[in-house]
Structure 1
């Protein structure tokens, strides 16, 4: 019998019977904490120096956190403290081109892919062909990952500062995992056992800085690493509490729904992504891997972020984010401005 999935708590976005792990500040000190669905918070700094220490020995830590959640008295309320990035200095591994519809839409619309359109081919037929290519890629293809900088992380409610370089600042709300240990050449089955928890990350980037024609390989991903371009958290939810098949990714811009998609509609699921990563790099406890964006980014809508915009984001059971966009006030004009080839939706 199918039971309805429980509803997230209106205060935190956590599901009943779960908890989140994050880093917070009360304006004086930063501290690791456990968050209950009702917004009560337990400072765990007496047992863990920071959240990195939690994931250094996850099996032991999860047992300890479970005991704290059931027996320790709260020390704070969530509304009285500010969320910092849940982990301060993780390696970031970011999947691209990993939702079938999103990639098929981009391939159909993007000006730089029109050379692949057949003579006289309609948008509908071109889209179907691109979607079929993504389905084939899911069967026998290879994931695409790039690395990120932890200096781009921000708290769940921090302002997003839009830099003066480029104008097509885009959002991509994504579900991510935090790893519990390192591995090399893991099988997908073994990789699944490395997933300690889940979190939400908005993977922002400045689209008109991506495309380059002065270099043979064509793309420049540094524009995804601006300060504050990775709002994360507000917390990490342990993997036993999360059923990805029931999770939905939603983002609103100034109240208008832009992204609303099931998290499990990936080309490559998390075990395959982690297994692939383990063949390319040395995975470490506390590493974050985000799974790519579902449909609905700014490029698709032909709308990019501007000063004063409000982004409201939520992923089922993983919490909520609210970020106000504001323009950067720089001391000088950028020397290296936007690359002259503007990316068109």
Structure 2
């Protein structure tokens, strides 16, 4: 049974989501701040319209969405009548690693290499030095995730039987609104339509390939099980999130909060990010072309399960929220294994 959705509160007059009525097909929706829904296939007279279609013509769509949100004559229905899905089906998912200073230091301590008997203080200082060097050298770290790992913000998450150490990682995700290739940091945010919430689950036991140390990490195995990326509930337009002082960098002080069974695990600000959203978008675009609807996950702050010595198990409920973006609630369910 899927946990009950939490409050839809978000910044600004409206957000976007992908919803469905009972026995109906998913459709892109405008959700107002008073939790009313406008079916955008109907309001824009476009049968078969998807969220990715909207994002593909974002510059033209955004003014129309503002108008719909302000027009009281447009038909609306209560949000409670619908099921909320992941807000977009991206073609590509770009993920930022090691982008929160304290989180990386904690992981460095938790993932002690075999035979490393140095005291914690020495290893913590080493990790801090590495982070300082990365920031000075301006070297973000981006890898690729799979769209098939995405699930809805209130869906159950199946923990694979092979996952020995499944962990949570709440993240701010930027949603791309224009094709972006080799864009500068200064212009990067012009390509971001909005922001949403992602929980980038990771099996810590399979992150590192000890049999292939020269290759290192195995992101396919550790991060891409079906449902390992709860997404949403909403895409909140960038104009509703960004402070004018952050016009060239992206959101600089949003609170990320994850609770496990009601107990706070992650509680940090995006101020702890080493590389801001603009830098990450620009960096990813130097190698790849980012497409409308694509996601760029910006890394996770301190407070993961490896830090607490408490990993995910059957029946756990995760509540994740980010300032202005709403909240998601997902329950963990152990994979049924045939006897």
**So what's the TM-score if we normalise by structure 2?**
0.89
**So what's the TM-score if we normalise by structure 1?**
0.87
Shift of 1:331: 4.2
The root-mean-square deviation of aligned C-alpha atoms, in Å, is: 1.8
**Which ranges in structure 1 are unaligned for 5 or more consecutive residues?**
1-9, 333-345
User: Which is worse superposed, 323-332 or 59-68?
Assistant: 323-332
The one-character-per-residue Cα deviations of 1:110-143 (angstroms, maximum 9, x if unpaired) are 212874x8x6xx4235323422331331122311
User: Which is worse superposed, 82-91 or 282-291?
Assistant: 82-91
Partner residue, 1:219: 217
- Runs in 1 of length 4+ with deviation above 4 angstroms? none
Partner residue, 1:308: 315
Distance 1:75 1:92 in 2: 32
Secondary structure at the residue paired with 1:193?
Answer: helix
8 A contact 1:108–1:114 mirrored in 2: no
Partner residue, 1:68: 68
Which of the residues 10, 14, 30 maps onto 2:10?
A: 14
Shift of 1:228: 0.7
Which of the residues 121, 139, 142 maps onto 1:142?
A: 139
Which of the residues 163, 170, 193 maps onto 1:166?
A: 163
8 A contact 1:175–1:198 mirrored in 2: yes
Which of the residues 290, 298, 313 maps onto 1:291?
A: 298
Which of the residues 249, 256, 260 maps onto 1:253?
A: 260
Secondary structure at the residue paired with 2:252?
Answer: helix
Partner residue, 1:43: 39
Q: Paired residues, what number?
A: 318
Shift of 1:162: 0.7
Partner residue, 1:52: 52
Are positions 1:263 and 2:270 aligned together?
yes
Distance 2:283 2:63 in 1: 29
Which of the residues 278, 282, 287 maps onto 2:289?
A: 282
Partner residue, 1:128: 125
Distance 1:218 1:33 in 2: 42
Are positions 1:78 and 2:101 aligned together?
no
Partner residue, 1:195: 192
Secondary structure at the residue paired with 1:111?
Answer: coil
User: Which is worse superposed, 154-163 or 70-79?
Assistant: 70-79
